[in-house]
Amino acid sequence: MTGHPEHPEHPEHPEHPEHPEHPEHPEHPEHPEHPEHPEHPEHPEHPEHPEHPEHPEHPEHPEHPERSAREAWERSPSALLTLRPDGTVLDANRTLLDWAGLEREDVVGSRTLSGLLTVGGRIFWETHLAPLLLVERRLDEVAVEVRTPRGRLPVLMSAVLTTAGDGPAEVVHVALSSAGDRSRYERELVAARREAERSETRLRALQAVTAALSRAVGVDGVADALLRTAVAPLGASAGTVWLTGEDGGLSPRRSTGAVVELRPPPFGEVVHGEPVLVGEDLLVPLRGQTALHGVLALTLDRGAGAEPPSVDVHTAVGQQAGLALDRAHRYEERAGIAEQLQRSLLAGEHPHDERFTFATVYRPGVEALEVGGDWFDVFTAGEDVVSVVVGDVVGRGLGAAVAMGQLRSAVRAVADPGTGPAQVLSRLDRFVDQVEAARTATLVHAQLDLGDGCVRYACAGHLPPLLLPAQGAPRYLWGGRSTPLGVVLGTRDRGEDTVQLGPGDRLLLYTDGLVERREQGLDEGLDVLLSTAAPLHGLGAQEVVESLTGALLDDGNARDDVCVLLLSWSGPVLERRVAADLTGLSPLRRELGAWLAERGAEEETAEDLVLAASEAVANAVEHGCGGRPEQHVTVRAELTRAAGPARDPVVLITVADPGRWRARTASDERGRGLGIMRAVVDEVRVEPSDTGTRLVLRHALRGGAA
């Protein structure tokens, strides 16, 4: 019966398809349309259900926006971080953690960004980047390095400081992109550039040293050049040049700063070509081709910021300086020979005569250490004429010294008695036609008449003589000028001029080294000489030349060699007439005393001579003039020289009267005062003559028997 509920076709029978328990019934859980059936779209396990992980709206579905943004952050090829403004890491992506080899919990909340960088980057961050970020609120592409388990990773860092969300809190977003290739490339560029700069710096320092050494003259010049260019410019605070002496030992020659000692001695055994670092000192051997010339001892800069010394630069400096010292030694030897020759040529015999005095100074050139062919000469031409010459041969060194010697001899040879200065120069013109090296030499030649003080002089292209009068202002003598020797303009006639000297007047001859300076004109130099010489007239001749050269040359700018000659005329004989009434005796005593003092007589000698002369005059008046007041006595005082090798100066006083008298006995002599005279002067002679009687007093000018 289908109507019976248990009949399978009855609708209430469980097997009936309409029965709810029948699997095909829609309410049956296994029916696909039942909501709990897994294939039903609303069932959570159905792929189209939103909570199903494969559903696109499910948060874990890869296409869900949150999931993909986080994924992009984590998997970004750049390392990304979020920081607090103080640098503490708030978040970091997987890339950063992978680079740093750290887990998230090692980093977030505990580390700062700078703690992830190498120490250089850390300090760069703290001192530069953090301040900039705070001021600028951003950084772009800064090169720093991240510490990784595999070493440093070069990155470029960009960062912005911004507010987080809607709140007032600020955060820093940082992106680090790997810059390995770019960094390698840059480093190669940097390394190349730094190497180029280093080479350039070294080259420049070495060039400065080389240039200074090549200009240096002599051993001291080399030492000074080293101290100037190889101490401070190469990072040392003090330096000393030690030089090998003749005994082979080292001694300090020149220093800048405190003397740098050599440790440990003996240094020569320690060093064989390479600079050696001894404590703070760098010892640079200065080795020539065959010998160790010395050591440049440097105190290296001790400041914390000082860079380490460059041994190869110092090695090169030592080699250069060693060769420079080779040259300097050779040069000094050669210059020494030339100077010796020059001095021996200048040291010849010079005349002695009490009627004139002279003084000279010769200084070899400073800059080149070389003699320059300057000379002076003093010789007599005839009994009463003294000739002086100062000249200058063009050129330097041995050649100039030899030419100077020839020309100097030639002047003596052609300056015969009676040949004036202009004629002497004309003869020298012919001489230098034959002697090439002496051509265009300049010279000044003066002839002083010792009797009357008249000077004839001529200048062949030479600086003018300077007249220094005993009283009054000095002045240059611009007369008698003509061209240098061998230089002929139109006529071969040479001019000359004259000047009259008074007693005690002086004539200064000199070479151009005394007045020429690079930085001043010749006129200015002559003015300086004039003003320097003016106050010196109270000094003796030698003091004058030494004061002049001292004042003019010790300014450190003198370069050329210098020759100076000062000629002083002592003045004529003293000749006076004294009337028989003896009114003129007092003035005579004074004048004679002054005359003797001018000639260098000591006070006691002068007093003795004045006493003797007074006695002689009184005697002459009494015995020679017969008491006739219209008669007079002639007194003449002169200097002469004693016989014998010393040729000591001797005073000769002659008292002449018109009478004829003779001392016959000792008592006569006493009566005539001869005893007094004999007691105080060396020799007293009475000489009768056709016109009267002469009494001659002879006495050594400077003590002792003549």
Partner 1 sequence: MDVLRRNNVTVTGRPGGPPVVFAHGFGCDQLMWRHVAPAFEADHRVVLFDHVGAGGSDLAAYDPVRHSSLDGYAADVLEVLEALDLPPAVFVGHSVSAMIGVLAAAERPERFAHLVLVGPSPRYVDDTGYRGGFSREEIDELLATMDDNYLGWSAHVAPMIMGVPERPELGRELTDSFCRTDPAIARRFARTTFLSDNRADLPRVRTPALVLQSREDVIAPPEVGRYVHEHLAGSEMVVLDTTGHCPNLSAPEQVVAAVADYLAA
Residues near partner 1, by CB under 8 A: 85-88, 112, 114-115, 118-124, 126-128, 130-132, 134-145, 186-187, 189-190, 193-194, 232, 235, 237, 301-307
Shortest gap between Cβ of 210 and partner 1 (angstroms)? 21
Residue 556 CB, nearest approach to partner 1 (Å): 25
Q: How far, in Å, CA of 306 to CA of 22, rounded?
A: 98
Q: Which is nearer to partner 1, 112 or 654 (CB)?
A: 112
- Is 137 or 430 the residue whose CB approaches partner 1 more closely? 137
| Cβ nearer to partner 1, comparing 144 with 393 | 144
Closest CA to 460 of 491, 501, 436, 429: 429
Q: Least separation, in Å, of the C-beta of 302 and partner 1?
A: 7
Toward partner 1, which CB reaches closer, 137 or 628?
137
Tokens representing residue 283 in the block: 């010892």
**What's the closest the beta carbon of residue 227 comes to partner 1, in angstroms?**
14
Q: How far apart are CA 638 and CA 595, in angstroms?
A: 9
Q: Which is nearer to partner 1, 181 or 555 (CB)?
A: 181
187 vs 352, which CB is nearer to partner 1? 187
SS3 316: helix
Q: Nearer Cβ to partner 1, position 257 or 525?
A: 257
Quick one: angle between helices 585-598 and 603-624, nearest 10? 150
Is 227 strand, coil or helix?
Answer: helix
Extract the runs of DSSP E, i.e. beta strands, from 550-681.
562-569, 574-579, 632-641, 649-657
Give me the residue label for tokens 């004036």. Answer: 420
Cβ–Cβ < 8 Å for 602, 635:
no
Residue nearer to partner 1 on the CB measure, 164 or 414: 164
Q: How far is the CB of 127 from partner 1 (least distance, A)?
A: 3
Contacts of 53 (CB under 8 A, 6+ apart): 60, 61
Shortest spacing between CB 140 and partner 1, in angstroms: 5
Choice between 177 and 498, CB closer to partner 1? 177
Query: What span, in angstroms and rounded, lies between the C-alpha atoms of 448 and 429?
Result: 23
Instruction: Kindly state the smallest distance separating residue 136's Cβ from partner 1, in Å.
Output: 6
Q: Rounded to the nearest whole angstrom, what is the least distance from the CB of residue 83 to partner 1 in the complex?
A: 11
DSSP 111-163: -BGGGGB-HHHHHHIIIIIHHHHHHHSEEEEEEEEEEETTEEEEEEEEEEEEE
Half-sphere exposure of 142 (CA within 13 A, CB side): 23
User: Can you name the residues that pair with 468 across neighbouring β-strands?
Assistant: 506
What residues contact residue 247 under an 8 Å CB cut-off, 6+ apart? none
Least Å distance between CB 303 and partner 1?
Answer: 3
Q: How many CB atoms sit inside 10 A of residue 527's CB?
A: 13
